[in-house]
Structures are given as structure tokens and as C-alpha cells.
Structure 1
């Protein structure tokens, strides 16, 4: 009689969980770069809107914005996608493209002359930036406030470009100075947090954003199997 004990017995088929591994690569946070670029660009553009830089030199200033702000925010946005933060990535890339578009159109137009087409673009951009702010408010209120300030500035600049007088432009200029100071604090707080691996300067994180700093690795990776790039459809 054959010895059944020597015959390999069929095994249970492996489950997907047993054979699938999700690999995550640690990266530095791109938000400080995005915040500093936005703050620097806003403050520099404000000097033109407030008349601190002569209109004859506006083309130089706009070129500096194209060279400095646009690529830095674009890079920050790409790495925010890699870091699995769709909200921050979408906002940074949207703002990067907005900076590029408005700078190029302003370069090709007479200095200091309102552009109705640019007004349409800026005013149409406002609700989308506010939507991103609303999505961020639940977990990252600091970022949400920055987006709200940016939306206000876009709206004021759009009103000026629509031909409603110089007052909206002056208000937009001062709001840009405020955005610069706010972004400076936010970027510094994020840099300190990233270096210390804990919140030092108040960032008012809530929900998932707070768990991402204070929670354990298991809490942060539990939902990875449902994220874009892992699940079958977006």
C-alpha cells in the first residue's frame, strides 16, 4: 500500500492579503517649500500692486515670479501627490499654474492696464480655491485659512482687472503682504515639526492630520489599500 503520509497534501490558496505588499517611500514634507514660495510670491507681487516698484520694472518682477515661484510650487505639488495628500497637491499645482498664467498674460500686456480676460480667469478661480479650503478645514485649518486668504486676494485682483477702480488693487496688495507673513509662519512651523517629529509651533491639526503626527504607523497605513494607486479605479 502507498504511504499517504509521503504524498504532498494540497494547501489552501494564498489570499490577496498574503501575497500583496504595499511599499511606501519616506520623503521630506513638501509643504514648507510650497508655503514659502507662495508667501514670497505674494509679498513680491504686492510691492507692484501698492506702487512700491515702478511700473516700468514690472516685467522684471513678473519674470522673477515665473522663475522662482512657479517651479517651486510645481515641485511641491508633485511631491505632495507622492506623499498621498491629494488636497495639498491639488492646491499647490493649481496655484502654480495660476501664477504662471497671470504672469505670462501680464508680461504680454501694457503695464498697469486692467485686463478683463484676466479678471474672468481670477474670479473663476476663486470658488475652486475656496472648495479646496473647505476640504482642508476639517484636518488642516492653518492651510485652509491660507487658501481662503489667497482666494480673497484673487477676488480683489479680479475686481481691479474688471475695471472697478484702484481700491481693490490696493486691498489685494495689502492682503498679499498678510499672506506672505502668514505663509512664513506656517512654513517655519512645518519645518520645525518635520525636524522635531512633533508639533512645536501651533498648527491646529485635527482629525487625520493630527493622527499623522501623533498616531502610530498602523493607524496611518490602515487605509492605504483604499488609496489611489493601490485600488483598482480612481
Structure 2
């Protein structure tokens, strides 16, 4: 987009590169980690195989969510970027701690991290309410971290079971959100309800043209972030 040169002022061009939404990748990566850890918490796999869950988080989920976070910033989506970044960092610590700790052990230090990380996830969840399904995934991820953190504090079988079931619900929700957004991107229309509202819904319909004045106030274009 360029400004008119009739006034003698230098022309200004702003080039926007199309970038696909990173949320499906991040949500599918989330489903991987939360499912294997839920299976561990619910006793479906023995504690001795907890390292498999740890490796899944560190080798699969963390790299994919880091990529999703970077792409979120490039796509000018701070909600996706922030949420995926927090998830990647949290799963990295969870995976490393699980891998290096005795099977079935708990850690109050890890509990503190999980509770704080869970609360932090409510920031992008609340900020992203224009996309209800995506916000629900991030909010449920926050709840999953908080409940798991309470288990790390108490070492209670009840909290362990609750964390496992919340984790499975998160996996199902993440899979649905990924499918809905992926279909939306490939078909260029809403196929499964994604809960878009306001500007988010208008964007999918191709409404709301970006006027030069609006572009000038965008992060990365304005003089200060």
C-alpha cells in the first residue's frame, strides 16, 4: 500500500506477507503431550514409562509449539504467539523434570511453575475471546496446568485423576479446534463452528478493509510497539 506522491512527500509502502494460522499445528502438538501425560496420570501406562511422555513433550510438542509461536508473531496474532510460547516453555520444563526424576515422584517446585503457567495461559485465553474455540483450548490448557500443579503439591491420587481427565478433555478440544481451523483455511469458509465473533468473523468473510490509517497503528508498523 502506498501513499500519494502528489504532495511532494516520499511514498510509503507497507508489504504484508500472507501467513497461515499456526494454531492447528500448536493445538495438535498440545494434544500429543496432554494425551500421553493423561495416560500416565490415569494409570493406563506404568510410571516406569513416564520417560516416553517426557520425550514426546520435548521432542514433538515443544519444537512444534515454538514454531507455532514464531509464526504467530509473523502472522500478527499476539494471542496465538503468546499462548503457544507459554505452552512450549511449560511442556519443556515438564518433560525435562519428568525425564530426570524417579518414576511416579512429585515436585513442589514443578507445582509452582505449573500453577503460575496455568494462570498465565488465561491471559491469551481472555484476550482471544473473539475466537471462542481457540480461547477455550487455551483456557482449558491453563486449567490443566493448575490442576496438575495442585497434584504436584499434594501428591493426591484424586488430583492426579482430575488432572488426567482434564488433560483428555483438553486433547479432544484441541483436536476439534485444529480440525475446525484447518478446514476453515483449506475451504476458505467456516465448515465446523470455530466460535468466531466480531472482527474475527469479519476477517473470515473478507470484510473490514485495512485503511492506511489503520495500518499505521499496527504493531510493527507504528514507531513503537
User: Would the TM-score normalized by the shorter structure come out above 0.5?
Assistant: yes
Aligned equivalent of 2:113: 121
Query: Given the alignment, which residue of 8, 17, 28 partners 1:13?
Result: 8
The TM-score normalised by the length of structure 1 is 0.89
Counting only pairs closer than 5 Å after superposition, residues 51-66 of structure 1 correspond to structure 2 as 51-66=43-58
Aligned equivalent of 2:124: 132
Deviation at 1:26, TM superposition (A): 1.2
* Separation of aligned partners in 1, 2:8 and 2:102: 71
* Separation of aligned partners in 1, 2:162 and 2:40: 12
User: Residues 126 and 155 of structure 1 are in contact (CA less than 8 Å); yes or no, is this contact kept in structure 2?
Assistant: yes
Aligned equivalent of 2:16: 24
1:169 aligns with 2:160: yes
Query: Given the alignment, which residue of 61, 70, 89 partners 1:97?
Result: 89
* Separation of aligned partners in 1, 2:119 and 2:21: 27
Deviation at 1:215, TM superposition (A): 2.8
Query: Relative to structure 1, is the Cα distance of residues 12 and 22 closer, same or farther in structure 2, using a 3 angstrom cutoff?
Result: closer
* Separation of aligned partners in 2, 1:214 and 1:221: 20
The TM-score normalised by the length of structure 2 is 0.92
Equivalenced residues, count:
220
1:74 aligns with 2:66: yes
C-alpha deviations, 1:31-90, integer Å up to 9, x for none?
Answer: 111111111211121111111111111112211221110001111111111110011110
Query: Given the alignment, which residue of 183, 190, 208 partners 1:199?
Result: 190
Deviation at 1:157, TM superposition (A): 0.6
Q: Which has the larger radius of gyration?
A: 1
- For structure 2, the residue ranges without an aligned partner over 5 or more in a row are 1-5
Query: Relative to structure 1, is the Cα distance of residues 69 and 214 closer, same or farther in structure 2, using a 3 angstrom cutoff?
Result: same
C-alpha deviations, 1:92-135, integer Å up to 9, x for none?
Answer: 01101100011112222111111010011111122211122111
Aligned equivalent of 2:180: 189
- For structure 1, the residue ranges without an aligned partner over 5 or more in a row are 1-10
User: Residues 54 and 94 of structure 2 are in contact (CA less than 8 Å); yes or no, is this contact kept in structure 1?
Assistant: no
* Separation of aligned partners in 1, 2:151 and 2:142: 14
Pairwise CA RMSD: 1.7
User: Residues 202 and 208 of structure 2 are in contact (CA less than 8 Å); yes or no, is this contact kept in structure 1?
Assistant: no
Query: Relative to structure 1, is the Cα distance of residues 157 and 220 closer, same or farther in structure 2, using a 3 angstrom cutoff?
Result: farther
Query: Relative to structure 1, is the Cα distance of residues 42 and 222 closer, same or farther in structure 2, using a 3 angstrom cutoff?
Result: farther
* Separation of aligned partners in 1, 2:58 and 2:140: 21
